[in-house]
Amino acid sequence: MNSWNPTCESMSREEMRKLQSERLIKTVRRIYHNVPYYRNKMQQLGLLPEDINSVDDLKKLPFTYKQDLRDTYPYGLFAAPLSEIVRIHASSGTTGRPTVVGYTRNDITVWSEVMARTLTAAGAGKESFIQIAYGYGLFTGGLGVHYGAERIGASVIPISGGNTKRQIQIMKDFGTTHIACTPSYALYLAETMEEMGIRKEELSLKAGVFGAEPWTDNMRKEIENKLGIKAIDIYGLSEVIGPGVAFECECQNGLHISEDHFIPEIIDPQTGEVLPEGEKGELVFTTITKEGIPLIRYRTRDISSLTYEKCECGRTLVRMSRVSGRTDDMLIIRGVNVFPSQIESVLLEIGETAPHYLLIVDRVGKLDTLEILVEVSDKLFSDEIKRLEELENKIRREIESTLGITAKVRLVEPKTIERSEGKAKRVIDKRNLK
């Protein structure tokens, strides 16, 4: 077993529960005293910090929703003075308001630690060359993997996203052993390599850590065959910390959660009840070491299940199953989180009233495509072709600048988008990843 921190990754359940309890108690105290928003939430439930004495009391605590981060935008949930914050990341929001997260120096250390575990489990070490093809910037992907890779002493190639041919050239010339990107981009790399006439044997690639979008076992097999590597699934979200929340080991049988930092629960998304081990439900995280923005029972909207059985790799860290869906309508297109409501607000701005629309997501070749059908209302209609083409272009440009992804826009006749129970169906996802 390649393990970065065997003590934390393989401790007994009893020790883990003790550690989690200590850290949870501290975290609850911290948010109660430092974050008025949480204090109010707890007071409304008649809860005091003293009521939380172990992980068993976790279920007494209120949930945190993405909406809470928006309501307190930008810094309302920060539990550390802003002078202690050394980094800020943000993810795109549904209404143009991003979700903002802040890290103290210690948070960056924790993040590096959990990413170091992730990369070590994927077989990387100080002799490795890690090419990071996740975007660098407000998105946590690039910098998150970067710090973990430096932590294990690997040689980091911070190439960021895009420029595929250059990625491949560098991969070949620099002797990249590990690549970090989205799974669909990994397939695109493989395809471009073929076009360039570069064979996988010419590369030194051994493994890749892939995340930030849903994928299937078939995709995994295809990546492994075409690139001649081990394809490792990783999981993370910026609200919890970024990439590194959970990672696969060489057994590729569920993702180990660094639960000494993030306590997972699986709940029934309707009732909020905690579900027993093995049952599918919504994944919820409580961060217990974060200082910048600790979150209590954060609703990820991702559907998964947990198993506490010791893994064949020797780790005792709880494993989550690969995320099998969402409890809300969020789509992940080319690694970008997209809510239909974002597209709706773009259309709203253009046409004053929101027209009916339908998003068709597909995977053509290796890349996700987004097509937006927009019903032409009287308001949007013009009897001149050029005006209608301008309208299509305008929608396309606005979508691109809001979401950062390109979409094809197609104008359709009114009432052609199917309505069910009076409500329009907003999304057709043809990617068939489940």
Partner 1 sequence: MLVKQISVFLENKSGRLAEVTSILGKNDIDISALSIADTTDFGILRLIVNKPEQAERILKENGFTVSCTDVIAIAVVDEPGGLAAALRVLDDASIGIEYMYAFVGKATNEALVILRVEEPEKAVQVLDKNNIRVLPAERVYEL
Binding site for partner 1 (CB under 8 A): 376-378, 381-385, 388-389, 410-416
User: What is the smallest separation between the CB atom of 397 and partner 1, expressed in angstroms?
Assistant: 18
User: What is the smallest separation between the CB atom of 387 and partner 1, expressed in angstroms?
Assistant: 10
Instruction: Closer to partner 1 by CB, 273 or 389: give it.
Output: 389
SS3 318: coil
Instruction: Closer to partner 1 by CB, 259 or 375: give it.
Output: 375
Calpha distance 309→165 (Å, rounded): 43
Instruction: Closer to partner 1 by CB, 324 or 393: give it.
Output: 393
User: What is the smallest separation between the CB atom of 383 and partner 1, expressed in angstroms?
Assistant: 3
Instruction: Closer to partner 1 by CB, 87 or 394: give it.
Output: 394
User: DSSP alpha helices (H): ranges in 85-203?
Assistant: 105-121, 140-151, 164-174, 183-196
Instruction: Closer to partner 1 by CB, 68 or 375: give it.
Output: 375
Residue with tokens 């495509």: 369
User: What is the smallest separation between the CB atom of 340 and partner 1, expressed in angstroms?
Assistant: 21
Task: Provide the residue type at 328 as one letter.
Answer: D
Tokens representing 29 are 């105290």
User: What is the smallest separation between the CB atom of 384 and partner 1, expressed in angstroms?
Assistant: 6
Instruction: Closer to partner 1 by CB, 308 or 381: give it.
Output: 381
Tokens representing 267 are 């709940």
Of the candidates 204, 290, 210, the one whose C-alpha atom is nearest the C-alpha of residue 247 is 210
Give, as one character, the DSSP assignment of residue 50. G
**Residue 130: other Cβ atoms inside 10 A:** 26
User: What is the smallest separation between the CB atom of 379 and partner 1, expressed in angstroms?
Assistant: 9
Of the candidates 433, 292, 330, 266, the one whose C-alpha atom is nearest the C-alpha of residue 92 is 330
CA distance to 59, 78, 123, 221, 240, per residue, from 72 (Å): 23, 9, 40, 43, 16
